[in-house]
């Protein structure tokens, strides 16, 4: 069992190094991001503990996927498999448990711990047997595949937006809007097979513009219910809503051009550093996007002529 967890750590570190990111920097950055989002959530609404538990369980629940559990049973046997699954779930829940401890929410800590152990002893299919309908065509596969894998995050975001209206909490509404755009952002974080680029039969510039147009259109479609709800109930803040939507569009474009600037490799260190700088100073996007757009054109020109 010890060897299994050592292997998982080595695989995670290798993936980070292949992406051009030092593992220590990645772990520190993820810890800071997790703490920042957790503090923001608990400051925004009194329903934060319930949202926190739901989010933790939605993430940890993926570890109970049936095929994965069967694979562990075949490799380690039934008894060791259960021990591995319990350890996995407890380790995955430690950040959430630690923050609940900091908030002195001991009852929620106990509830989360009991639920993750229960999940470890159960198994289910995370991929539904039926095909989930999406509001997208088949061609922009990022959104078709991504939506089917993360649809529960949109339910969470829409629910948060409704709660924000009832609680008269504009910040929580903006947080719900950002959940939608951040989810769409990660649809473009992984490089697809070269065939899916070649099949477009477009020039590099036309291909990139089409990708950007599709991403902006479909992400806006997903965010539209929240944007309309916030605009109606928080009309004096409509300028702030439009500002956040504009920034989300800019970061979505920057993710796309970053992805194809390194294609067919994963996004490496240089684009990651520039994206981090843009998060700190968004006007830098005015330089970042044109530069990496040109670089992306050159990178995919061998496939699209």
Model pLDDT for residues 162-184, shown as the tens digit of each residue: 988 888 888 888 888 988 888 88
129 domain residue, yes or no: no
* CB of 108 closer than 8 Å to CB of 49: yes
Query: CA nearest 291: which of 276, 303, 274?
Result: 274
Q: Please report the pLDDT score of residue 231 as a whole number.
A: 93
135 domain residue, yes or no: no
Is 40 in the same domain as 187?
no
Q: Please report the pLDDT score of residue 225 as a whole number.
A: 92
- Mean pLDDT value across residues 140-151: 74
Is 92 in the same domain as 160?
no
132 domain residue, yes or no: no
pLDDT above 90 coverage of the chain, percent: 12
Q: Check: pTM over 0.75? Answer yes or no.
A: no
* CB of 180 closer than 8 Å to CB of 220: no
Residue with tokens 């479909």: 218
Please count the other Cβ atoms lying within 10 Å of the Cβ belonging to residue 161: 25
User: Virtual CA dihedral for 18, 20, 22, 28, nearest 10 degrees?
Assistant: -110
Q: pLDDT tens-digit profile of 34-76?
A: 888 888 878 877 777 877 887 787 778 777 777 778 888 888 8
Domain boundary among 89, 120, 151: 120
Burial classification of residue 147, based on how many CB atoms lie within 10 Å of its CB (0-12 exposed, 13-18 middle, 19 or more buried)? buried
Instruction: Give residue 93's domain range.
Output: 2-120
CA–CA separation, 137 vs 251, rounded Å?
23
Fill in the DSSP letter of residue 199.
Answer: T
Is 209 in the same domain as 114?
no
- Residue 38 sits at the vertex; the CA angle it makes with 33 and 43, to the nearest 5 degrees, is 130
pLDDT band at 190 (very low <50, low <70, confident <90, very high): confident
Is 63 in the same domain as 150?
no
Q: Please report the pLDDT score of residue 99 as a whole number.
A: 93
Q: Please report the pLDDT score of residue 123 as a whole number.
A: 59
Is 83 in the same domain as 193?
no
Please count the other Cβ atoms lying within 10 Å of the Cβ belonging to residue 180: 25
* CB of 275 closer than 8 Å to CB of 254: yes
Q: Which range has the worst mean pLDDT, 112-126, 233-247, 281-295?
A: 112-126
Report the chain's terminal Cα–Cα distance, integer Å: 51
Distance of CA 276 to the CA centre of its chain: 16
Mean pLDDT of the chain: 80
């Amino acid at each position: 069992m010890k060897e299994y967890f050592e292997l998982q750590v080595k695989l995670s570190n290798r993936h980070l190094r292949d992406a051009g990111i030092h593992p220590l920097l990645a772990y520190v950055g993820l810890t800071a991001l997790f703490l920042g989002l957790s503090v923001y959530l608990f400051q925004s609404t009194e329903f934060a503990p319930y949202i926190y538990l739901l989010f933790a369980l939605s993430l940890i629940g993926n570890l109970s996927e049936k095929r994965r559990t069967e694979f562990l049973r075949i490799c380690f046997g039934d008894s060791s498999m259960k021990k591995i699954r319990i350890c996995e779930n407890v380790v995955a829940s430690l950040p959430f448990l630690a923050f609940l401890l900091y908030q002195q929410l001991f009852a929620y800590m106990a509830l989360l711990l009991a639920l993750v152990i229960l999940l470890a002893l159960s198994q289910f299919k995370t991929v539904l047997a039926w095909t989930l309908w999406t509001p997208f065509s088949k061609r922009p596969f990022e959104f078709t595949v991504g939506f089917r894998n993360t649809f529960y995050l949109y339910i969470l975001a829409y629910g948060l937006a409704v709660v924000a209206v009832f609680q008269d909490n504009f910040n929580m509404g903006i947080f719900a809007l950002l959940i939608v755009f951040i989810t769409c952002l990660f649809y473009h974080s992984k490089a697809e097979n070269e065939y899916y680029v070649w099949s477009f039969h477009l020039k590099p510039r036309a291909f990139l513009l089409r990708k950007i147009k599709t991403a902006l259109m479909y992400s806006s479609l997903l965010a539209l219910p929240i944007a309309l709800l916030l605009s109606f109930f928080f009309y004096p803040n409509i300028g702030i809503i439009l500002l956040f939507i504009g920034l989300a569009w800019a970061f979505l474009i920057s993710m796309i051009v970053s992805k194809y600037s390194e294609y067919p490799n994963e996004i490496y260190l240089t684009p990651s550093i520039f994206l981090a700088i843009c998060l700190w100073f968004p006007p830098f996007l005015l330089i970042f996007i044109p530069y990496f757009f040109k670089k992306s054109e050159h990178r995919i020109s061998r496939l699209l002529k």
